[in-house]
Structure 1
Amino acid sequence: MELGSALHFLDNRAILVTGATGFLAKIFVEKILRVQPNVKKLYLLLRAADTTAAVQRFNSEVMAKDLFKVVKHKYGEELNSLMSSKIIVVAGDITYQNLGIKDTNLLDQMWREVDVVVNLAATTSFDERYDVAMGINTMGPKHVLDFAKKCQNLRILLHVSTAYVSGEKEGLIQETPYQMGETLNGKCGLDIEREKKIIEETLKTLRAENASEKSITLAMKDLGIQRARTYGWPNTYVFTKAMGEMLLGKLRDNVPLVIIRPTIITSTYNEPFPGWVEGIRTIDSLAVAYGKGRLTCFLGDPKTIIDVIPADMVVNAMIVAMVGHADERGCERIYHVGSSVSNPLELPWIQDFGYRHFSKHPWIGKDGKPVIVGKVTVLSTMASFQTYMAIHYLLPLKGLEIVNTACCQYFQSTYHEMDRKIKFVLKLVDLYRPYLFFKGLYDDMNTEKLRRAAKEGGIETDLFYFDPKVICWDDYFVKTHIPGLVKHVFK
């Protein structure tokens, strides 16, 4: 692999970015604008009814974010002219052919100009409706690939997946592709067309029964989980992402293809400034719940390695991989971007980081009082978790049920609060159990080779860093990530 300057590669480049309002997409766009203003064009695809609505979404959901304050400061009054000359906001939808772009003149222009396609569009909800997840995470990549094949000067297609397409595999998990129809439990019969037909038939039956939209949504969510677990995946998100990878690998022909599989993505490590994050991302839901006093016990194996990687490192790895594999016709390169092999992070450390932060800087509740946190009781088996819940929550709840019948207002509010906490904790346990007992490590040998090639080649490694070995987890979580969560995510 021969790598030249990443800044030179980005110079005069026309890049299509799907899912432009997403977390990683924002960081990717900000990085390009900040380090290489000579980029030719950034075509930013986002879902909207028309161009006017798309531009409104872009302004409110992308450029209005704190993330862009460094870019705004750097360019000052010149920013508007830079944006108008470099950015084209495109109304579209990857669930449709031609990415749902209706303007035929714009389509022709994009097929002439675009030479890099970056697919970041996804739904990341673990229990998304099966039809929605199938449309975005599985068929979406196929439509992006079909579009890329029509680009006359295409140099690379980069698709962002997730490391957790591996499901609950144990041991060292390799950076290898999934073959069409491959399953995690060895069960035969996975066929994407059949899955689409199951969705269609289920929806047809529900509508024939005049089911409400709420009932249809619940049924489609249940169907997704059931189909995922039939073939060994723990949830709808990773199942549909895996099928999306299968389609790309099967249909790529001679398109240069890079698949990036990040692990759990956290706030920025350094750029454009430390600690920027948006939304509640996997383990962050536990931190938010803990800081607000809603989590006092949880389920998990203390020996579990939690694989996390800051968002700016993921974006840098994406850019370097684009440089490294441009014009490699017919290639399929897969990169795990994570930390479990090179800089492992143990589950108990995260609990300690949270305790240390919120003990010194407690969250102020709605009543204006600081939320006092304590050590979380971590239970290592489902049996011990059920026992704990019964003793500490369910038995007191039964007692309060009697009081409720006497209409005692104080105890009634206590009852509902405890019931709410139990349901919340049980939902978190169901969603995150596979990851809190995870016994795998994500091999990143391909990524390590990419890092070495970057150092030996012409890549600007001070700008495009992605080595997790430099991270001190204690310092990062206590001083950067958790304060970033509190500032940008806590409501």
Structure 2
Amino acid sequence: MGLDIVQFLENKTILVTGATGFLVKIFVEKLLQIQPNVKKMYVLIRAMDKQAAKQRLHEELIQKKLFDILREEWAENFNSIVEKLSPIPGDVSCENLRVHDFDLRSEMWREIDIIVSSAATTKFDERYDIALAVNTFGAKHVAEFAVRCVNIKMLLHISTAYVCGDMTGIIQEKAFSMGETPNGSRKLDVNEEKLLVEELMNELQERNASEREITIALKNLGLQRARLHGWPNTYTLTKAMGEMIVQHHLKQNIQLAIMRPTIITSTYREPFAGWIEGFPPRTMDSIAILYGRGRLKYFLGNPNTILDMIPADMVVNAMIVAMAVHANQPNSNKIYQVGSSKKHPMSYSDLRRIIVSYFKDSPWIDEDGKPVKVRKPRILGSTASFRKHMRRYILLSKVSSK
């Protein structure tokens, strides 16, 4: 990490949203690692009050294994480092980020130099009302909050490479204009999308629909709207609208960098190799874990398909560099698509080969302390092969049940 970047971060006050998410935990640790003299990090956490936010900060960030190296390096001074983290109970889906305390809001508006906007719901089939509230209007609320910050240098908005939807060929690092869609079939109106959700909710409530019926209806609406406009799912649609809306609401004197990572995987090197969140993780790493545990017998998909994956710590490095580069450069708004397939393409068959080789040499150890024996998984590389397999499976199931 270049000295100029480290110097840039010194004495800076940063607001981070989505801090209990996988990527931002690594970002927070990295920032404290390379620049312990950062002035303060406001950490926006969904919680009822300050105490609950503080508890989540400790349980979901500071106490994690992710912070062990920092803990060892600073030893008895570790607490003085993590005290730079100021937990703020709030919610990006609300105006003013649901920071009710006016004095605290005023303090934040005076002190913040940089905002890292990463709060998101990443479920592909999320309820449309929830995805809109967080991924789209959450971006709007963060941008509006940024406008109130008198000393702000820049806003770093974390998006996804898949906002480009069903586009093919070379995808430029180009901003969406308001209402633009991948298939160009019709103009997209963010406020109309919100109105559609409200109308559906009113209709469902009038006929006393159950919570399950409401959830199914809102999930279906999101998927229908996404596919209508050329996105594969609700997540990518609402993240694309988030990009549109954040650019629309920012003042020209606030620098904006949008980061579009591809499939984020476990860490490559920092703070140590292989750190992932949750079990099983909601990353590509889950495929390896399921195979190692003997639960994955088949790979579904074209074996020649390229899986664009990028380790989380590499994304974090790109985030930090983008902050330093653009904070003091007027009119330097930029989009960065962060991936690996150009220089290091990995096919589906490559992934299978690597996983099989790894667990052959280092088998998974089960609860009884015994190595799990696994076979090389078959690839069902087409719809026809999948259907053939399912017909055989159903037939055998019927025979065995007699």
Counterpart contact for 2:90–2:97, Cα < 8 Å? yes
1:60 counterpart residue number: 59
Look up the SS of the partner of 2:15 in the other structure: strand
Distance in 2 separating the partners of 1:288 and 1:228: 31
User: Is contact 2:326–2:333 with CA below 8 Å preserved after alignment?
Assistant: no
Tell me which residue corresponds to 2:155.
Answer: 157
Count of residues in correspondence between the two structures: 398
Q: How does 1:146-295 map to 2 (within 5 A)?
A: 146-254=144-252, 255-279=254-278, 280-295=281-296
Tell me if the contact between 1:14 and 1:42 (Cα under 8 Å) persists in the aligned partners. yes
The worse-fitting range, judged by mean Cα deviation, of 43-52 and 293-302 is 293-302
**Structure 1 residues 307 and 208 mapped into 2: Cα distance closer, same or farther (>3 Å)?**
same
Q: Is the 8 A contact 1:256 1:329 kept in 2?
A: yes
Secondary structure of the corresponding residue to residue 5 of structure 1: helix
Q: CA deviation at 1:399?
A: 2.3
Assess, with a 3 A threshold, how the Cα gap between structure 1 residues 141 and 288 changes in structure 2: closer, same or farther. same
| Deviation sequence 1:412-436 (CA, Å, 0-9, x none) | xxxxxxxxxxxxxxxxxxxxxxxxx
Residues of 1 paired with 2:283 and 2:275: CA distance? Answer: 16
Whole-Å separation in 2 of the counterparts to 1:118 and 1:396: 53
SS of 1:105's equivalent in the other structure is helix
**Pairing 1:35-434 to 2, within 5 Å after superposition:** 35-84=34-83, 86-254=84-252, 255-279=254-278, 280-365=281-366, 370-391=371-392, 393-401=393-401, 403=402
Where relative contact order (Cα < 8 A, 6+ residues apart) is larger, the structure is 1
Deviates further, 210-219 or 129-138: 210-219
- In structure 2, the residue matched to 1:28 is 27
Q: Distance in 1 between matches of 2:373 and 2:162?
A: 34
Match of 1:458 in 2: none
Tell whether the 8 Å contact from 2:15 to 2:43 is kept in structure 1 after alignment. yes
Q: Secondary structure at the match of 1:88?
A: strand
Matched residues in 2 for 1:127 and 1:227: separation? 12
Cα distance between partner residues in 1 of 2:97 and 2:65: 29
Superposed CA offset, 1:311-368 (max 9, x none): 1111111111111111334442000111111221222111011111223333345677
Separation in structure 2 between the aligned mates of residue 99 and residue 42 of structure 1, nearest angstrom: 16
Deviation by residue 1:150-202 (Cα, 9 ceiling, x = unmatched) = 10001010001011112233222211111111111221032111110111111
Letter in structure 1 aligned against 2:47: A
Instruction: Specify the code of the residue in structure 1 equivalent to 2:302.
Output: D
Moved more, 164-173 or 49-58: 164-173
TM-score by length of 1: 0.78
Q: What residue ranges of structure 2 are gaps of 5+ in the alignment? A: none
Distance 1:201 1:335 in 2: 37
Higher share in helix: 1
Q: Separation in 1 of the partners of 2:283 and 2:178?
A: 28
TM-score of the pair, normalised by structure 2: 0.95
* Counterpart secondary structure, 2:81: helix
* Correspondence for 1:421: none
Could you tell me how far apart the structure 2 residues matched to 1:354 and 1:78 are? Answer: 40
Residue 345 of structure 2 aligns to a residue whose secondary structure is coil
- Following TM superposition, by how much is the alpha carbon of 1:370 offset from its aligned partner in structure 2, in angstroms? 4.1
Which moved further from structure 2: 155-164 or 362-371? Answer: 362-371
Q: Is the contact between residue 27 and residue 315 of structure 1 (CA under 8 Å) also seen in structure 2?
A: yes
1:4 shift after superposition: 7.2
Give the Cα separation in 2 of the matches to 1:125 and 1:266: 16
Q: 1:215 to 1:370 in 2, by over 3 A?
A: farther
Instruction: State the secondary structure of the residue aligned to 1:286.
Output: helix
Q: Answer yes or no: is the 8 Å Cα contact 2:15–2:44 preserved in 1.
A: yes
RMSD of equivalent CA atoms: 1.7
